[in-house]
């Protein structure tokens, strides 16, 4: 016993020494960083204003490729247009990528490198920027770091030209960026306080980044400058993606809803209604779980009965899912009121796709060969597990996007401001489904509607406010011809909201913000990618 006691005491002393040694090493490192920051001058010149550098011309090519980055508007910006509330052009001629000194050293900062938002709007964005060839946009270099290492980064790599704070903005990190002369963009992502004006005004930034024009207009009314930058998907290597020539199944057999955490699922009452309505037309409803650091799993929702929650149906469906029972529904009966609804929907989708084949939407142009897709992130942050699934394409024909069950989050009880923040969350899930080549239907969250408009995807399909509306929409697109057209539109949307297109969006926004700041015109307003004709500034209204 005495030997055991002596051994335990020695082990405890050893552990104490190790802890003290680690603390001492951490303290020495902290002191060194502080001394280097205080006594060594910042490397490199601070970001300065410049005469316009122009843009690098890219020849459009519409042959066979899906649609890519936003088309740019003519350069005729004037202060009078902003004063009257009219949008102003933000870029030079169509087919030109932005070039400015502000792109030379982009530092993306996150509070915690392990968060999903840090991966998508930090590491993925840096990889997408660095994947582009220099002739595309001139010299550009992007870095990702955690907030507590900003000082060390500046000491080692020199002054950043732009600091992008991801989700949260720590005052110590923004102070270092400001002292270095950098532009500061606070990318709010899904920060639940993104509509709390008093909270936002307590931070230092040149502009906020949000997902929708609705959110941007709200902030502009309070004198806050905003950039509308949509959220991309992370399917860089096109895992589990249908091709444009893939033929849809004869009937819709499965509808899926993807989520990463329980708060993102539909409210319980909505979930029950959606399941019942889809069961009523012999379609299986799958919850597609995609939790952090785990593979995708599909969870079919059990049907409580063979009857619809809101409509009388035939007594039995024979227990066979995947049969087209839409014709049995009263709304598609012999009365003739909606007898041709599905055919009309098919024609609308077909015309939409044919129109895109003839002439791309105003806001888009062909993806240039110079624009490169980034590689997958390193193993610890790899996106493959969040997109690759053999079962996904085998079982699901249509993706569903819906309002989340977020009545309370981060201690914030439900309020008008909280609901506004939720209503303007990013459209990542819609981009996720599009990245697989699958059509989407869903609830009219602002990001989903805006994305559909921009990609020329039928907005009626993301303007479904009840489970019954979802059932009818599924019946509308039951035809394989309709779904084949929607499938091609989804693939176009996947390119518009790809990581590389997101990187170009950031480049446009950074150059315009820099140019505007140098002109002394940093008033409230917002810059949006969805403006008619391309990127444009809008005045507060």
Q: How many CA atoms lie within 13 A of 446 on its CB side?
A: 20
Task: Using alpha carbons, select from 490, 495, 399 the residue that is nearest to residue 443.
Answer: 399
Query: Exposure pattern of 327-366 as b/e (b: 16+ CB <10 Å)?
Result: ebbeebeeeeebeebbeebbeebbebbeebeeebbebbbb
Least confident of 24-38, 63-77, 96-110, 163-177: 63-77
Tell me how far apart the alpha carbons of residues 204 and 177 are, in angstroms, rounded to a whole number. Answer: 10
Tell me the average pLDDT across 104-113.
94
Query: What pLDDT score was predicted for residue 199?
Result: 94
Q: What share of the chain is helix, strand, coil (3-state, %, to 5)?
A: 40, 15, 45
- What the chain holds in terms of domains, given with CATH numbers, is 55-232+500-539 (3.40.50), 254-497 (no CATH)
Q: Take residue 177 and report the two structure tokens written for it.
A: 């960026």
Task: Using alpha carbons, select from 459, 348, 440 the residue that is nearest to residue 396.
Answer: 440
Q: Is the dihedral of CA 242, 244, 245, 249 positive or negative?
A: positive
Q: Is the dihedral of CA 402, 408, 412, 414 positive or negative?
A: positive
pLDDT at residue 101 above 80? yes
pLDDT at residue 480 above 70? yes
> Which helix (H) or strand (E) covers residue 135, if one does?
helix 134-137
Per DSSP, the residues of 167-225 read: SS--HHHHHHHHHTT-EEEEE-TT-TTTT-HHHHHTS--SEEEES-HHHHHHHHHTT--
pTM equals: 0.79
Q: For 44, phi and psi rounded to 5 degrees?
A: 80, 155
pLDDT at residue 394 above 70? yes
Reported confidence tier of residue 30, pLDDT bands at 50, 70, 90: low
Query: What pLDDT score was predicted for residue 420?
Result: 86
Q: What is the CA radius of gyration of the chain?
A: 26
Query: What pLDDT score was predicted for residue 67?
Result: 33
357 or 384, which is more confident?
384
* Contact predicate 482/346, CB 8 Å: yes
The mean pLDDT of the chain is 76
Q: Tens digits of per-residue pLDDT, 292-342?
A: 888 999 999 999 864 444 443 332 223 332 334 464 333 333 334 443 544
Query: What pLDDT score was predicted for residue 373?
Result: 81
Reported confidence tier of residue 49, pLDDT bands at 50, 70, 90: confident
Q: Tens digits of per-residue pLDDT, 200-242?
A: 999 999 999 999 999 999 999 999 999 999 899 999 999 999 9
Tell me how far apart the alpha carbons of residues 276 and 310 are, in angstroms, rounded to a whole number. Answer: 9
Query: What pLDDT score was predicted for residue 330?
Result: 34
Query: What pLDDT score was predicted for residue 17?
Result: 65
Q: Is the dihedral of CA 415, 416, 419, 425 positive or negative?
A: negative
Least confident of 114-118, 317-321, 420-424: 317-321
Reported confidence tier of residue 355, pLDDT bands at 50, 70, 90: low
């Amino acid at each position: 016993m005495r030997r055991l006691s002596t051994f335990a005491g020695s082990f405890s002393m050893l552990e104490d020494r190790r802890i003290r040694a680690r603390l001492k090493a951490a303290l020495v490192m902290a002191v060194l960083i502080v001394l280097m920051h205080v006594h060594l001058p910042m490397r490199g010149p601070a970001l300065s204003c410049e005469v316009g550098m122009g843009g690098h011309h890219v020849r459009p090519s519409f042959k066979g490729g899906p649609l890519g980055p936003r088309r740019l508007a003519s350069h005729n910006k004037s202060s009078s247009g902003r004063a009257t509330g009219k949008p102003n052009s933000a870029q030079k001629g169509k087919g030109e990528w932005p070039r400015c000194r502000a792109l030379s050293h982009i530092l993306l900062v996150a509070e915690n490198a392990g968060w999903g938002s840090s991966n998508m709007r930090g590491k993925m964005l840096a990889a997408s920027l660095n994947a582009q060839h220099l002739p595309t946009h001139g010299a550009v270099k992007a870095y990702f770091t955690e907030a507590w290492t900003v000082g060390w980064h500046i000491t080692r790599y020199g002054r950043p030209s732009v600091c992008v704070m991801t989700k949260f903005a720590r005052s110590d990190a923004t102070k270092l960026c400001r002292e270095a002369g950098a532009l500061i963009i606070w990318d709010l992502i899904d920060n639940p306080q993104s509509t709390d004006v008093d909270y936002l005004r307590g931070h230092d930034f040149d502009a906020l980044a949000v997902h929708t024009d609705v959110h941007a207009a709200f902030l502009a009314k309070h004198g806050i400058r905003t950039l509308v930058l949509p959220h991309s998907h992370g399917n860089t290597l096109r895992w589990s993606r249908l091709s444009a020539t893939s033929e849809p199944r004869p009937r819709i057999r499965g509808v899926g809803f993807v989520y990463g955490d329980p708060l993102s699922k539909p409210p319980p009452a909505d979930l029950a209604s959606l399941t019942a309505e889809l069961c009523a037309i012999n379609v299986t409803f799958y919850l597609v779980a995609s939790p952090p650091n785990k593979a995708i799993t599909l969870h079919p929702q059990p049907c409580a009965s063979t009857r619809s929650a809101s409509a009388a149906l035939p007594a039995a469906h024979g227990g066979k899912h995947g049969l087209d029972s839409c014709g049995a529904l009263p709304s598609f009966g012999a009365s003739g009121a909606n007898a041709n609804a599905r055919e009309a929907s098919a024609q609308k989708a077909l015309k939409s796709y044919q129109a895109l084949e003839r002439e791309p939407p105003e806001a888009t142009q062909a993806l240039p060969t110079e624009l490169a897709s980034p590689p997958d992130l390193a193993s610890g942050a790899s996106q493959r597990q969040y997109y690759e699934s053999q079962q996904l394409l085998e079982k699901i024909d249509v993706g569903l996007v819906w309002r989340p069950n977020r009545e309370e989050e981060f201690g914030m009880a439900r309020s008008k401001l909280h609901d506004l923040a939720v209503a303007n969350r990013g459209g990542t899930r819609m981009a996720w489904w599009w990245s697989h080549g699958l059509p989407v239907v869903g609830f009219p969250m602002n990001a989903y509607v805006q994305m559909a408009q921009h990609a020329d995807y039928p907005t009626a399909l993301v303007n479904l406010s009840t489970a019954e509306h979802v059932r009818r929409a599924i019946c509308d697109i039951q035809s394989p011809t309709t779904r084949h057209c929607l499938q091609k539109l989804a693939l176009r949307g996947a390119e518009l909201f790809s990581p590389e297109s997101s990187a170009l969006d950031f480049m446009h926004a950074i150059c315009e913000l820099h140019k505007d700041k140098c002109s002394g015109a940093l008033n409230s307003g917002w810059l949006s990618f969805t403006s008619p004709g391309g990127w444009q500034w809008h005045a507060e209204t």
